[in-house]
Amino acid sequence: MRKIYLFFIPLLFIFLYSCSKPQNSEKQNESELGNSTHRQINLKGTELLDPQFKVKKYVALEVIPESYFADIDKLIIHDSTIYVMDAFVKKKVFAFDIEGNFIRAYGAIGDAPGEYQKLTDFEVDDNGDVQILDRQQQKIHIYNKSGNFNESKSTEFRAAAFKLLEDGYLFSLVPSSGEASPKTKLIKTDFEFNVLQKFFNYPDQFKDLKGDFNILNEAGEEILYHKPVSDSIFLFNSNGELIQSVNIDFGNNTVPNELKNDYSILIEKQSNADFLYFSQPPILFKNILLGHIYEGGRKGILLIDIENQKSKQKLFKPNGLDHSLMEFPVYNWNDSLLVSYVEIDIMENDVNQEQFPEEFQNYIQEHNGLGLVFSSYGAE
């Protein structure tokens, strides 16, 4: 089971727009993409994050040999079925019902039809079919709702993440996708993977050290694109059209552009500086951004009200967690409930440990398992 301290390690996937090279700048490219709305958020006056989240439901995910997994690298809820991806340990997608009972697993590592080499992302379509992205083989493997393999579709590019659209896909590409310079970050394709539109470019000096998950994630009926370390967040509609961009002004805490390009250097210098950034793609719900932040040697949660341009922040320590503040958010369920996770280490260091239902807490502890916390936010 993933230990809590691993979540305090910032993501090793780097994102940069360079002021010195406008042609490689997301901010520059953004202005060329039609009539999308542009917002500039200044974090001056950020308040302390108060407990405005209200827990609605605790769900312990069933632990049996067929369902045991180590990490939640991505979570999707579709038709009241919970899908969990463990990309590094079990290297599968697991399905549970909304009460946490195991249903089935999808896919396996191998060379046979329907097997993959490197699981990096997955999606669930309207029919309940599970589509798994294989970065190594440059394929999408499709399994039906019962878990049986249907087909594999090959791409001519290498992608780190993808999102289903009404008429195709959005793909987040890796810099080594074989494309001539400049290296495109994001593309829109049809269902046959023909490229229809390109968005943004990687700087020439960009070092892609390690992939991240949820680069493209659900935001109600929209799609959020964010790749740390970046000050920009982009929203697309279900047709893959850019509709809004949000640039966050971190003020004196902004990570210098040269450090956004090389995370290894950023790691060396950030302990002696107060650099502030989203360490993983945030979740968007009801025009509210919520995500993990890293500030110098401290980790925490940052909440930004995009519409009212207000922000709240909470820095925390491993032995002073509070699940009522959604410190480990993983999913926005239909813009009504936020989903976070807990495991043994988190529960043992939670200041509101007494709020966990006894049966839920006992199951997690006895089985070394993982549970989900469903919460609402704000006045009801």
Could you report the per-residue pLDDT of 4-20, keeping only the tens digit for each?
444 333 333 333 333 33
Q: Are 41 and 231 in contact (CB under 8 A)?
A: no
Higher pLDDT, 369 or 268: 369
Is it the case that residue 26 has pLDDT exceeding 70? no
pLDDT of residue 85: 96
Q: What is the pTM of this model?
A: 0.89
Q: Using CA atoms, how far apart are residues 124 and 245, in angstroms rounded to an integer?
A: 26
pLDDT confidence band for 356 (50 / 70 / 90): very high
Is it the case that residue 361 has pLDDT exceeding 50? yes
Higher pLDDT, 23 or 44: 44
pLDDT of residue 72: 94
pLDDT of residue 33: 52
- CA distances to 44, 56, 292, 339, 354 from 372, rounded to whole Å, are 33, 11, 17, 6, 16
pLDDT of residue 248: 95
pLDDT of residue 73: 94
What total of structural domains would you count in the chain?
1
pLDDT confidence band for 52 (50 / 70 / 90): confident
Q: Give 72's contacts (C-beta < 8 A, 6+ positions apart).
A: 2, 84, 85, 86, 330, 341, 370
Q: Using CA atoms, how far apart are residues 360 and 368, in angstroms rounded to an integer?
A: 12
SS (H, E, C) 125-175: CCCCCEEEEECCCCEEEEECCCCCEEEEEECCCCEEEEEECCCCEEEEECC
What average pLDDT does this structure show over 18-46? 61
pLDDT of residue 288: 93
pLDDT of residue 5: 40
pLDDT of residue 273: 80
Domain that holds residue 32: 4-377
Q: Using CA atoms, how far apart are residues 333 and 186, in angstroms rounded to an integer?
A: 25
* CA 123 to chain CA mean position, Å: 13
Q: Per the structure block, which two tokens stand in for 291?
A: 């995500």
- CA distances to 169, 185, 330 from 131, rounded to whole Å, are 12, 21, 19
pLDDT of residue 211: 64
pLDDT of residue 269: 80
Q: How many CB atoms lie within 10 A of CB 178?
A: 11
Is it the case that residue 50 has pLDDT exceeding 90? no
Q: Using CA atoms, how far apart are residues 240 and 243, in angstroms rounded to an integer?
A: 9
What average pLDDT does this structure show over 85-112? 94
What value does the mean pLDDT of the chain take?
Answer: 86
| Of the ranges 4-8, 29-33, 91-95, 316-320, the best mean pLDDT one | 91-95
Least confident of 115-119, 141-145, 288-292, 317-321: 317-321
Is it the case that residue 318 has pLDDT exceeding 90? no
How many percent of the chain have pLDDT more than 90? 62
Query: Tens digit of pLDDT for each residue in 155-213?
Result: 999 999 999 999 999 999 988 755 555 689 999 999 999 999 999 998 877 776 656 78
Q: Are 357 and 347 in contact (CB under 8 A)?
A: no
Tell me the CATH number at 222. Answer: 2.120.10.30
pLDDT of residue 178: 55
Q: Using CA atoms, how far apart are residues 155 and 101, in angstroms rounded to an integer?
A: 35
pLDDT of residue 380: 54
| Of the ranges 139-143, 181-185, 293-297, 347-351, the best mean pLDDT one | 139-143
* CA 221 to chain CA mean position, Å: 16
pLDDT of residue 10: 38
What average pLDDT does this structure show over 276-286? 91
Q: Using CA atoms, how far apart are residues 75 and 263, in angstroms rounded to an integer?
A: 26
DSSP of 88-139, one letter per residue?
Answer: TTT-EEEEEETTS-EEEEE--BSSSTT-BS-EEEEEE-TTS-EEEEETTTTE
